[in-house]
A and B are shown apart, each in its own frame.
Chain A
Amino acid sequence: MNFSTDFEKYIARLADSNMIMGQRLSELCSKGPYLEQDIAISNIALDYLGQASMLYELLKKAGGDKHSVDDYVFYRNERNYYNLLLVEQDNGHFGKTMAKIFLYSTYQKILYSYLSKSTNDDIKAIALKSIKEVNYHFKHSRAWVLRLGDGTKESKIKIQESIDELWRFTGEIFESDDVENNLISENIITASNTFYPQWSKIVKETLQEALLTEPENVVMLTGGKKGLHTEKLGFMLAEMQYLPRTYPNAKW
């Protein structure tokens, strides 16, 4: 399944990042540290799946209805998934999960605020709906970064390690390539590299307030937007896709 237009390729990137983010987080359902937080994480996971679902519907429409939403999710392999490397990383401990949501939702806040001004009505509608959810993800995860950073000695070490570990996957978020060029000139999207100053400012301020150190001189990993992934994604897809591939057309 290959995407022929830049529009499809770009939408697939957004959809896949939300899909993988949601799938990863849903692994934590029933495993939260306590009931309230368990529900909070599951709610956020569902928000991501909802956003992915709207974007896959758009992808389906753009592809002339040749494939179903399930086809996109369950019948593409690793090399045809275009999510960011950040979202496929393990949940790890609670601090790492919150750090990941924080880094990702800060980016999504900025992304959707630009997409809500898109000349494409579908994208605009999805962005306007999603931004409310994302604002909450940001608020929730940011509060935890502050709490853990400015918490106990152990919580500070753990959240700092998480930020350090995930930092190498953040550079790729702001890479623009040929896929974006035409869409930018038609004012459908805004270049990913224009998001960086805003993202950096918010993250910097939060880390300072949380008494954490911003990582420096980190070599950034990249490839997700081109279908080149870390070893984490394959295992995840295997688990996620096993059932529909083994029992095609299985129903609930």
Chain B
Amino acid sequence: MSNNLILWEVFIQSKVNLPYKHVGNVHASDSEMALQNARDLYTRRNEGTSIWVVESKNIIASNPDESEAFFDPANDKIYRHPTFYDLPDGVKHI
């Protein structure tokens, strides 16, 4: 593996209007090559209709050391789930 290549994160949209999902990464030296490599690696079996690539260094990730501060406060806030609402009898499809 040449160290001239940079790492790119790949996002695939499986159908129009659906959200893009992270599928993995590729090595490439520029954006055009990254798109082609992503196409070759991740859409061989009809997985997608559109691809995003973004340089991995541009992804801002949350810090695992801060996960307590970030995520624990949500643990005991069960009222944030919509299970406390009484639904009128006539409402369907929920």
Q: Which residues of A come within 8 Å of B, CB atoms?
A: 33-37, 39-40, 43, 136, 139-140, 143, 147
Is A43 touching B36 in the complex (CB atoms < 8 A)? no
Count: A-B pairs, CB below 8 Å: 30
What are 25 A-B pairs at a CB distance below 8 A?
Answer: A33-B2, A34-B1, A34-B2, A34-B5, A35-B27, A35-B41, A36-B26, A36-B27, A36-B28, A36-B37, A36-B40, A36-B41, A37-B37, A39-B41, A39-B44, A40-B37, A40-B40, A43-B40, A43-B44, A136-B39, A140-B36, A143-B32, A143-B33, A143-B36, A147-B33
Closest chain A CB from B47 CB (angstroms): 14
**Size range of the chain B interface in the assembly:** 10 to 19
Closest A-B pairs by Cβ, 10 of them: A36-B37, A40-B40, A39-B40, A34-B1, A36-B26, A43-B40, A39-B41, A36-B27, A140-B36, A36-B41
User: How many whole Å from B90's CB to the nearest CB in chain A?
Assistant: 51
Instruction: Please report B residues at the A interface, Cβ cutoff 8 Å.
Output: 1-2, 5, 26-29, 32-33, 36-37, 39-41, 44
A140 to B33, CA, bound (A): 8
Closest to A38 in B: B40
B87 smallest CB distance to A (angstroms): 50
